[in-house]
Homo-oligomer: A and B are copies of this chain.
Amino acid sequence: MPKEGITPRAEDYSQWYLDIVRNADLADYAEVVRGCIVFKPTGYAIWEAIQRGLDERIKETGHVNAYFPLLIPKSFLMREAEHVEGFAPEVAEVTRGGGEELAEPYVVRPTSETIIGYFYAKWVRSWRDLPLLINQWANVMRWEMRTRPFLRTAEFLWQEGHTVHATEAEAERETLMILHDVYADFVEKEMALPVIRGLKTEKEKFPGALRSYCIEAMMQDGRALQAGTSHNLGQNFARAFDITFTDQHNTVQHAWTTSWGVSTRLIGALIMAHSDDEGLVVPPRLAPIQVVVVPIHKNDAERGPVMEAVARITASWKGRIRFKIDDRDNQTPGYKYNEWELKGVPVRVEVGPKDVEKGTVAVARRDIPGRAGKSFVAQEGLSERIEALLDEIQQGLYQRALRFQQEHTFAAATYDELKAGVERGFVRCYWDGSSDDEKRIQDETRATIRCIPLDQPGVAGSCIYTGRQTTQQVIFARAY
């Protein structure tokens, strides 16, 4: 039975998404600021959890954080030919400051390769300064025409890593390391979301990159969401900003740079991958609140023993389990159950007078709604049971998403099969076409090549569009 205020997924997936965002209180439309949203506390707490998991991995792999200016001289964007084409049309421009017209306008950063490139050129002198491994957590702005909470907003939050290396091989190693050890590892282990790792085609790569890698996740409507990108920028930005170094043989060379980022889009991915018609579902490892405890009592006589039991049960949880005791007096248990289901808390523990008598509690799993996910459990050893259950839910969500992805990925040998496949999910097929061919397929099917997966069969087949023999397979899908 779907909840009031939530359109069932099967009926209208797009409206379902907006209903989840509103009912779980994740965001508000900032109608007075074009294309922007407010990240409300429940939504922002998910971003904080994402930041923690990523920041830890970014630092463990040898990077440090820094902060570069929000504003970029507009002329900087123009220095890299592909980059200006990609970003200039969608920037916000600061033309006045302190009450006066500026001689040269600034743009609000849409991404920071250019401004960071300028500083790296000052900082990098010798091979001893390399590699330079810096990350930045920041807000960025792209003047989008069509917006959608978390998925596409004019202002969004992200991290952007920018590194400098002495050789192409090192830059490539960094680009792939970030893809595997930081992005895929985080999204699969913490967000419980299986991803396909791949290379972007020329048509889809980052403006100014030599090669762009990505991780692509499947949403519950079979569409793809790009969950992170990692770019080997070659020497393109090093040339544009003159990032050079003296090597061990005393020769001055242009450096090799990379950049990589994930954003608050991931909140959108989280919602669309795991949630159901009852509301948000958050994987335990990411959940700001993993367990909500609801005490149930009708009068003061019941209240004392129940609250005592709640205190005893949760006494050892601090530092082990992220929990909240919902002891609001002005709301019924039913109201509370509904609210925490909407907000996606993985486990609910109910403690009533009968539980106190019997030494039990009721435990409800958010990933299995209704009666099927509810059981009565002894208070003794509860902490361990809860910890095991959180782990089980985490693994269960991942396996469910993986199964869904596998069941909705179709091998296609003909263009007709491709057209049918992208109606329902991902299509994997041989590809040897051009960027123009890609464009034609996009116009006809609304599907794009999401990536050239890193794991390739190593067996030749015929291109779905040109019929030419090739060993290269790609993934086609409609995307967010």
Contacts and interface: CB of A to CB of B under 8 A. Distances in A.
Interface in A60-119: 64-73, 76, 89-99, 105-106, 108, 115, 118-119
A311 to B, nearest CB: 19
Interface residues on A, range: 35 or more
A315 interface: no
Interface stretch (A1-9, A26-34, A379-387): A26-34
A336 to B, nearest CB: 14
A94 B97 contact: no
A122 interface: yes
A65 B51 CA distance: 13
Interface stretch (A38-46, A279-287, A425-433, A461-469): A38-46
A105 B91 CA distance: 14
B122 A28 contact: yes
Contact of A33 (B32, B72, B122): B72
Number of copies of this chain that the complex holds: 2
B38 A73 contact: no
A378 B188 CA distance: 46
A241 B41 CA distance: 21
B73 A48 contact: no
B96 A89 contact: no
B93 A67 contact: no
A310 interface: no
A98 B110 CA distance: 12
Nearest to A37: B69
Contacts of A76: 32
A278 to B, nearest CB: 24
Contact of A96 (B45, B47, B48, B95): B95
A317 to B, nearest CB: 17
A36 interface: yes
A71 to B, nearest CB: 5
A98 B90 contact: yes
Interface of A: 28, 30, 32-34, 36-41, 44-45, 47-48, 64-73, 76, 89-99, 105-106, 108, 115, 118-119, 122-123, 128, 134, 138-139, 141, 143, 145, 155, 157, 330
